Each structure stands twice: as structure tokens, then as C-alpha cells.
A and B are shown apart, each in its own frame.
Chain A
């Protein structure tokens, strides 16, 4: 851990620089003045150990996208319980607070603790990279984020998982579905990102 006072002062400027030259971040095997977070290989290895412990002790593999189904189901149940009780998808994915729901809630809490503890918490409605391409409008960003989330979860549920369930948990088990889905996530994402950012880059 780094001294919090020094960090919070240096944070804004250092982060903006880091965002402008997207490359080189996290490249070295050591931190640069503590303002660029943990080495991604070390943090990733920690996540790998954590997933192993979870499989060992709880018998649970990481995943996130089903939680949006169970949450949507719980909201719909409050509005029309009888209808939800008849829907095949909610018979398959029962709308209730389960292990994964708590896991996803924990991600929010863990991120909040880490962000507050390291002085990197910041309210932000428009990411700088987005602003550089599409302008500072918060409404525009909100609509895009909403639509992006809608499309992403639809695709994830069709594919049977997201980068956590397929990408991480599928791959660690050497499941063909995991590698295939991850490859398609990245292929779709790279194509769409190229389309979104192409004019500015002149690609």
C-alpha cells in the first residue's frame, strides 16, 4: 500500500497522462510511483488463486451475467409474480439471491473499498477516451452505455456466459465453449471498437 496523501494529490494528473498514452501502462514489473495500481500479472495471479479457492471450498466458478437475469426476474416478480412464474427462462434461472448474486455484489463492495482506500475513487459520467471521440455530453454517453449494456447482456445470455463465466471459468477448465466464446467476444469487440473510433484514427 502507498501513503494515501501523496497518492490522492498525484492521482488526477498522472491518470490523465496515463489515459492519453494508452500504451506502456502496466508494462514494467514494478509500479511507477504507486499511481498506476498493481502489476496486472500479479493481480491476475491473485484472481486465479482466488478462483481456485472458490472452486475448492464453495464448489463455485466465477460468473456474472446470470445475475442480471436473476435481478431482472426479481424486479419483474415484484410487478407480476404470476407472469414470471410461467416464463421458461425464469424457471431455468430462478430469480433469487444466490451465490453469484452475492459474488457480483461483492465485486462492487470490493472495488469501492479499494478505490476509497487508494484515493482513486472518482465520480465520472464520461470517460476521457470517450470524450475525446464523442464529446463531453453526459446524455449521449448514458444512452450509449445503456444500449451497450442491453446488447452485451443479450449476447452473453445467448452465448451462455460472459468474460467471467466463459472467459475465466470456462478457460480454466479447458472448456471448448470458453475459448470459442472468448474469441468471439474479442472479435466482436475489436470490430465494433474499430467502427466506433475509426474516423478519428483514420484507420
Chain B
């Protein structure tokens, strides 16, 4: 029960931030995919870098455990590309579609219904996929520090440098 209440509360804050940053909008999502408006990327980079620093402090202090999804080259790449195609057509990703419904976007509601249908379809074909695409190139739960044999703080530092440079470039280009 406590877990459910915490989920709802966390979601409310997240939805609030997404709406205030205006990243729930079709124009912002397609603006990013058309490489014209990088607001969503700026939000993402800032969230990832902040969360990255925070969670690794928690790991170092032993206050949290990682939950790493396996790297499956075939599934990640093929699924990722298919997702991208649907994303461009809908103009919202799963989390932002639900958020967009909250600010009155009726097309996002059709997107949510489509996602329910897509999830049902996936559940039907899962047994076949689980033995093919979803095992192609399974590397397990690997991380960048693990592969590089480097301290996670070195990798976090490089990511921070890269992220800041990318955003500075966006600002200079007026994106």
C-alpha cells in the first residue's frame, strides 16, 4: 500500500514537472525528432545527469541497489527502431502520452488506446519473439563502467562533460 502511494506521489511530481517544462506537447516531441527544437533533449540530459550523480552516490553509500536491464543487441536495436517509428507517428512516448491526456490532448488519448492494443498484440506474439529477437546478442546486465573497467565516477564525469557540451552547442545554434 505504501509502495502504491509512493508511486502515485512520485508520478504526480513527475507529471507536474513534465507539464511545466512543456515537454508533453506534440510540437516539442516532433520538434526534437525534426531536429528543430531540442527542449526535450535538454530536459532529458539535465534529468539524466542529475539522476546519474544521485543514484551513484546512493550506490557508494550502500543505500540503493542497481536494477540493470539486460543488453540484448537484437531486441534493443530492432525494438528501439520500431519504437521510434511509432513515436514519430504518435508524437508522444508512453509516459508523455498519459501526461498529454492530463493537459487535454485528445489525440494522446487515441495514442494510449493504441498502446493498450499494441501491448495486447505483443503479449500474443511474445512466445515466438522470446526465442528469437529477444535472445539475439544477449550480453546480460552490462554497464559502461563494467565494460570499460573504469570507476563509475570517471564515466559519470565524461557523461557530464558530453551532456553539457551538447547543450551548450544547442544554445549556440538556437535549437
Chain B interface residue count, CB cutoff 8 Å, equals 129
Interface string of B92-110 (1 = CB under 8 A from A): 0111011111111111101
Instruction: Tell me the complex Cα distance, A165–B101, Å.
Output: 20
- A56 and B95 contact, Cβ closer than 8 Å, known pairs A72-B123, A155-B86: no
Whether the pair B11, A173 counts as a contact (CB closer than 8 A) is no
Whether the pair B85, A151 counts as a contact (CB closer than 8 A) is yes
CB contact list, B28-73 vs A, under 8 A: 28, 30-31, 33-37, 39-40, 42-55, 58, 63-73
Whether the pair B119, A118 counts as a contact (CB closer than 8 A) is no
Whether the pair A159, B83 counts as a contact (CB closer than 8 A) is yes
Sample (26) of A-B pairs whose CB atoms are under 8 Å apart: A25-B28, A25-B37, A37-B21, A43-B43, A45-B50, A52-B50, A60-B3, A68-B112, A68-B116, A72-B117, A72-B120, A87-B123, A99-B6, A99-B7, A145-B89, A148-B86, A150-B117, A151-B82, A154-B83, A155-B78, A168-B48, A176-B142, A184-B79, A186-B84, A192-B89, A197-B34
Whether the pair A162, B8 counts as a contact (CB closer than 8 A) is no
Binding site for B on A (CB under 8 A): 18-19, 22-27, 36-62, 64-65, 67-69, 71-73, 75-76, 87-90, 97-115, 118, 120-130, 138, 141-197
A-B contact count (CB 8 A): 546
Whether the pair B130, A88 counts as a contact (CB closer than 8 A) is yes
Taking CB atoms, residues of chain B closer than 8 Å to A181 are: 76, 79-80
- A158 and B78 contact, Cβ closer than 8 Å, known pairs A36-B22, A44-B47, A151-B86: yes
